[in-house]
Amino acid sequence: MSDRKYRIATIPGDGIGVDVTAAAVTVLDTVLPGLEWTEFDWSCANYLRTGQMMPADGPELLAGFDAILLGAVGFPGVPDHVSLWGLLIPLRRAFSQYVNLRPVRLLPGTESALRDRTAEDLDILIVRENSEGEYSEIGGKHNPGRDDEFVLQESVFTRVGCERIIRYAFDRARERGGKLCSATKSNGLIHSMPYWDSVFDRIAGEYPDVQTRQMHVDALAAEIVLHPDRLDVIVGSNLFGDILSDLAAAVTGGLGLAPSGNINPAGTAPSMFEAVHGSAPDIAGQGIANPVAQILAGAMLLDHLGEHTAAAAVDRAVCDVLGAGEVLTPDLGGTATTTDLAAAIASRAAELVDPVGAESH
């Protein structure tokens, strides 16, 4: 095991975010004792108390950490645009986390929503632009309350923003085997998507070894359902990447199994890791939430820190425990609690990182 120390901030957030974050911390501590955790109680509950999801100096408080593990954000009574724009999106932008990385795959012991699909068919990496695009604050409501009331919502596609995310996706495609598909909608969005396409075409010339496709996002959504085996790496704008990654996660077993990372590739600020799923307040605190997505987000965190052996142990432990089928939460057809599943994964991970120690006990 590495003896290096890391300072990790946790923001459990709302609902089951609290449950699954605690589970993930348990597993990560098993494989890497040098993690020093600091918890921040920033959530919708905090918003209802103080009028803020996080304090104004929230980014400054987090800037010195090596990474951030985020639970889930959202709770009844607080509109989603308030919770997201009050915490998650400002942190992504403050720390230049312009890559949202979402690996989606069919894990052992789980079933796809698609008939007769295997793990070989369902292994897709979605690279989502995470700092601009359709998720822009530019716009507003005009003539409120009048018959001619209207709203404007502007999208922002900069040359720097498009180039860096598309080049990042090409690099990942080269590592994985050389296939990249770009999500576009240039037949309907007359300015933004033709510009995105032109940047993609230009950068493709730098990667002659990578096989490329460009598909309209609606056709690409159908491709994920009908022919997922034809896809490897997908790159998309903020909105398209968000939608496609949830769809892909759904067909590969559900959002409870899908992790994600908000990555600052330059390492100039902490990256942030989270499950794709939401806060599921209807089952919060009942001890039945599936912690796998958050545990795998923790594995991504370890890998990002360079602790590849520990990260691989967590990933393998998840696969082994799910594949055995003996300790599963209700959403996977079992009766285990969140804590039970986390403990089983932690135990298996400990065996993988220290097999001699495990045998001696």
AA identity, residue 317? A
Does residue 135 have an active-site annotation?
A: yes
DSSP label at residue 210: S
Selecting among 19, 135, 303, 315, the annotated active-site residue is 135
CB 164 within 8 A of CB 172: no
Of 155, 174, 135, 153, nearest in space to 262 by CA: 135
Give me Rg for the CA atoms of the chain: 21
Please, what is the Cα angle at 163 between 311 and 240, to 5 degrees?
Answer: 70
Selecting among 66, 242, 303, 315, the annotated active-site residue is 242
Selecting among 246, 320, 331, 354, the annotated active-site residue is 246
Residue with tokens 């052992």: 108
For helices 308-324 and 292-304, angle between their N-to-C axes, nearest 10 degrees:
160
CB 281 within 8 A of CB 75: yes
Give CA–CA dist 265/98, Å, rounded: 8
Total residue count of the chain as it appears in this document: 361
Give CA–CA dist 164/359, Å, rounded: 47
The separation between CA 92 and the C-alpha centre of its own chain, rounded to angstroms, equals 12
Does residue 123 have an active-site annotation?
A: no
Burial class of residue 165 (count of CB atoms within 10 Å of its CB; 0-12, 13-18, 19+): buried
CB 94 within 8 A of CB 269: yes
DSSP label at residue 133: B
Selecting among 41, 80, 201, 218, the annotated active-site residue is 218
Give CA–CA dist 175/236, Å, rounded: 18
Give CA–CA dist 330/56, Å, rounded: 39
Selecting among 19, 185, 232, 340, the annotated active-site residue is 185
CB 243 within 8 A of CB 212: no
For helices 338-353 and 16-31, angle between their N-to-C axes, nearest 10 degrees:
20
Does residue 246 have an active-site annotation?
A: yes
CB 295 within 8 A of CB 345: yes
Does residue 185 have an active-site annotation?
A: yes
Q: Which residues are catalytic?
A: 135, 185, 218, 242, 246
